[in-house]
Amino acid sequence: LAKFPALGQARRAGETGGTLPAVLNAANEIAVDAFCDRQTSFPGISDAVGQVMDRHELIGQPSLEQILQADAWARETARDVLGLGQPTP
């Protein structure tokens, strides 16, 4: 897993459950977009995702609204971690 930290992150999210899988997915989407736009390195993807996951306050049995809030929070936090700023509407 040292060579492929994203696998460990995915396992952690799946085993933990709650809002963590949504957080992982949202942060990963932002980080991959940043990589594709040459705004981070390939290892920067898993670094950013890990930081977002570590900062997240887990909700174990979330409602749909809480999952959507966790998704939005993770996207904003990933942008902050990557130094991207907020998207324009």
In angstroms, rounded to a whole number, what is the distance separating the alpha carbons of residues 68 and 19?
Answer: 9
CATH of the domain spanning 18-82:
1.10.1740.10
- The residue written with tokens 């971690």 in the block is 81
3-state secondary structure 38-85: CCCCHHHHHHHHHHHHHHCCCCCCCCHHHHHHHHHHHHHHHHHHHCCC
pLDDT tier, 89 (very low <50, low <70, confident <90, very high otherwise): low
Reference 48, options 33, 67, 59; nearest CA is 33
- The pTM (predicted TM-score) of the whole model is 0.92
Tokens for 68?
Answer: 């959507």
Domain segments of the chain as ranges: 18-82
Contacts (Cβ under 8 Å, ≥6 apart) of 35: 41, 42, 44, 45
Kindly report, residue by residue over 32-67, the tens digit of the pLDDT: 999 999 999 999 999 999 999 999 999 999 999 999
